[in-house]
Structure 1
Amino acid sequence: MRSPCTREASQACFHNFCHLPSEPQSPTSITTVSESRHVLEVAMGSLIYPNSQFTNHESLPSLQESFSNFTKAFPQYSQTDQADKIREQEYYHLSLSNHVCFDYIGHGLFSYSQQRSHSWEAPFASTSSASPPSRQYSSGLEPPFFDISYKAANLHSQIQYGGQMSELEYEMQKRIMALMNLSEDDYTMVFTANQLSAFKLVADSYPFQSNQNLLTVYDYENEAVKVMIESSKNKGARVMSAEFSWPSLRLKSGKLLKKVRRKRKNKRGLFVFPLQSRMTGARYSYLWMTMAQENGWHVLLDACGLGPKDMETLGLSLFKPDFLVCSFFKVFGENPSGFCCLFVKKSSSSILKDSTGTCIVRLVPARRPSQISEELANEDVETEERTKQEIHVDDNLQGSSSGPIFRQQTSEVTSDPQETKEISVNHEAPEIEESVASFESSKSQIIAGYGSGHSHLECRGLDHADSLGLILISARARYLINWLVNALMSLQHPHSENGNPLVRIYGPKVKFDRGPAVAFNVFDWKGEKIDPSIVQKLADRNNISLSKGFLFHIWFPDEYEHEREQIIETRTSKGGKVLNGTREKLHSGISVVTASLGFLTNFEDIYRLWAFVSRFLDADFVEKERWRYTALNQMTIEV
Structure 2
Amino acid sequence: MQSPCMREASQACFHGCCPTPFLGLTEAPHPKTITSAAASRYDFATATASSLFPNTQFTNHESLPSLHEAFSNFTKAYPHYTDTDRADNIRAHEYYHLSLSNRVCLDYVGFGLFSHSQHQSSVASSSNFPPSAPSPSEFSFFNISYKSASLHSQVLYGSQETELESSIRKRIMGFLNISDNDYRMVCTANRASAFKLLAESYPFQSNQRLLTVYDYESEAVSGMIENSRKRGARIMSANFSWPSLRIHSAKLRKMLVSKRKKRKGLFVFPLQSRMTGTRYSYLWMSLAQENGWQVLLDACALGPKDMDTLGLSLFRPDFLICSFFKVFGENPSGFGCLFVKRSSISVLETSTIARSIGIVGIVPAKLSQPPDDDSITDTETQISKLQLQEDVAMTCSFSGRISRQVSNGLIERSSSSERRFERGETSELYETEVNMKQKESLQSEIVELEKTDSVLSGNTDSVKPGTSEAKLDEMDQTAEIECKGLDHADSLGLLLISSRVRFLTNWLVNALTKLRHPNSEKGLPLIRIYGPKVKFDRGPAVAFNVFDWKGEKVEPALVQKLADRNNISLSYGFLHNILFSDKYEDDKEKVLETRTPEVAIGGNRMKEKVASGISVVTAAIGFLANFEDTYRLWAFVAKFLDADFVEKEKWRYMALNQEMIEI
Q: TM-score range by the shorter chain?
A: 0.7 to 0.9
Q: Secondary structure at the match of 1:464?
A: helix
Amino acid at match of 2:329: G
Which residue of 265, 269, 279 maps to 2:265?
269
Q: Within 1, Cα distance between the matches of 2:96 and 2:107? A: 18
Q: CA deviation at 1:61?
A: 1.0
Which residue of 141, 144, 148 maps to 1:145?
141
Given the alignment of the two structures, is residue 610 of structure 1 paired with residue 609 of structure 2, yes or no? no
Given the alignment of the two structures, is residue 354 of structure 1 paired with residue 350 of structure 2, yes or no? yes
Q: 1:283 to 1:625 in 2, by over 3 A?
A: same
Given the alignment of the two structures, is residue 181 of structure 1 paired with residue 185 of structure 2, yes or no? no
Matches within 5 A, 1:470-619: 470-574=494-598, 584-619=608-643
Contact 1:476 1:599 in 2 (8 A): yes
Q: Within 1, Cα distance between the matches of 2:139 and 2:642? A: 45
Q: Within 1, Cα distance between the matches of 2:268 and 2:557? A: 29
Aligned to 2:45: 41
Unaligned runs of 5+ in 2: 1-14, 18-36, 127-135, 382-407, 411-433, 459-474, 601-605
- The CA RMSD over aligned residues, in Å, is 3.1
Given the alignment of the two structures, is residue 235 of structure 1 paired with residue 259 of structure 2, yes or no? no
Structure 1 residues 92-113: Cα deviation after superposition (integer angstroms, max 9, x where no partner): 1111111010111110111111
Q: Within 2, Cα distance between the matches of 1:44 and 1:506? A: 18
Q: CA deviation at 1:444?
A: 7.3
Q: Within 1, Cα distance between the matches of 2:375 and 2:607? A: 56
Which residue of 95, 104, 109 maps to 2:113?
109
Given the alignment of the two structures, is residue 453 of structure 1 paired with residue 470 of structure 2, yes or no? no
Q: CA deviation at 1:144?
A: 6.2
Given the alignment of the two structures, is residue 222 of structure 1 paired with residue 225 of structure 2, yes or no? no
Matches within 5 A, 1:393-404: none
Amino acid at match of 1:225: V
Q: Secondary structure at the match of 1:203?
A: helix
Q: CA deviation at 1:496?
A: 1.1
Q: Secondary structure at the match of 1:588?
A: strand
Aligned to 1:330: 326
Contact 1:192 1:339 in 2 (8 A): yes
Which residue of 85, 108, 112 maps to 2:89?
85
Q: Within 1, Cα distance between the matches of 2:345 and 2:659? A: 51
Contact 2:598 2:607 in 1 (8 A): no
Q: Secondary structure at the match of 2:338?
A: strand
Q: Within 2, Cα distance between the matches of 1:165 and 1:424? A: 18
Structure 1 residues 528-547: Cα deviation after superposition (integer angstroms, max 9, x where no partner): 00011100001111111000
Q: Within 2, Cα distance between the matches of 1:38 and 1:568? A: 33
Matches within 5 A, 1:123-522: 145-355=141-351, 356-357=353-354, 358=356, 359-367=358-366, 371=367, 374-376=369-371, 380-381=374-375, 421-423=436-438, 443=450, 446-447=453-454, 449-451=456-458, 452-454=475-477, 455-522=479-546
Q: CA deviation at 1:584?
A: 3.9
Structure 1 residues 616-638: Cα deviation after superposition (integer angstroms, max 9, x where no partner): 11111111111211222288554
Q: CA deviation at 1:73?
A: 1.2
Amino acid at match of 2:507: W
Q: Secondary structure at the match of 2:326?
A: strand
Amino acid at match of 1:101: C
Q: Secondary structure at the match of 2:325?
A: strand
Q: Secondary structure at the match of 1:267?
A: coil
Q: CA deviation at 1:52?
A: 2.0
Aligned to 1:399: none
Q: CA deviation at 1:494?
A: 0.4
Structure 1 residues 112-137: Cα deviation after superposition (integer angstroms, max 9, x where no partner): 11111123989xxxxxxxxxxxxxxx
Count, aligned residues: 546
Contact 1:520 1:594 in 2 (8 A): yes
Q: Within 2, Cα distance between the matches of 1:550 and 1:622? A: 23
Q: 1:207 to 1:484 in 2, by over 3 A?
A: same
Amino acid at match of 1:460: K
Q: Secondary structure at the match of 1:595?
A: strand
Amino acid at match of 2:360: V
Q: Within 2, Cα distance between the matches of 1:569 and 1:635? A: 33
Aligned to 1:22: none
Q: 1:175 to 1:32 in 2, by over 3 A?
A: same
Q: Within 2, Cα distance between the matches of 1:253 and 1:594? A: 25
Q: Within 2, Cα distance between the matches of 1:583 and 1:494? A: 41
Which residue of 54, 58, 64 maps to 2:58?
54
Amino acid at match of 1:561: E
Q: 1:144 to 1:544 in 2, by over 3 A?
A: farther
Q: 1:96 to 1:155 in 2, by over 3 A?
A: same
Q: Within 2, Cα distance between the matches of 1:179 and 1:210? A: 35
Aligned to 1:69: 73
Contact 2:517 2:526 in 1 (8 A): yes
Q: Within 2, Cα distance between the matches of 1:296 and 1:121? A: 55
Q: CA deviation at 1:317?
A: 3.8
Amino acid at match of 2:653: Y
Q: 1:596 to 1:637 in 2, by over 3 A?
A: farther
Structure 1 residues 538-584: Cα deviation after superposition (integer angstroms, max 9, x where no partner): 111111100011000001111221221121111124489xxxxx974
Q: Within 1, Cα distance between the matches of 2:376 and 2:504? A: 59
Normalising by the residue count of structure 1, what TM-score does the alignment of the two structures yield? 0.80
Contact 2:102 2:567 in 1 (8 A): yes
Q: 1:49 to 1:376 in 2, by over 3 A?
A: same
Q: 1:277 to 1:327 in 2, by over 3 A?
A: same
Contact 2:213 2:269 in 1 (8 A): yes
Q: 1:539 to 1:485 in 2, by over 3 A?
A: same
Contact 2:90 2:488 in 1 (8 A): yes
Q: Secondary structure at the match of 1:98?
A: coil
Q: Secondary structure at the match of 1:469?
A: helix
Q: Within 2, Cα distance between the matches of 1:143 and 1:623? A: 49
Q: Secondary structure at the match of 1:89?
A: helix
The structure having more radius of gyration, on CA atoms, is 1
Q: Secondary structure at the match of 1:453?
A: helix
Q: Within 2, Cα distance between the matches of 1:543 and 1:524? A: 22
Q: Within 2, Cα distance between the matches of 1:463 and 1:525? A: 47
Amino acid at match of 1:330: K
Contact 1:215 1:242 in 2 (8 A): yes
Q: Secondary structure at the match of 2:148?
A: coil
Amino acid at match of 1:68: S
Amino acid at match of 1:147: N
Q: 1:437 to 1:533 in 2, by over 3 A?
A: farther
Q: Secondary structure at the match of 2:269?
A: strand
Residue identity over aligned pairs, in percent, reads: 63
Structure 1 residues 260-279: Cα deviation after superposition (integer angstroms, max 9, x where no partner): 10343312110000001000
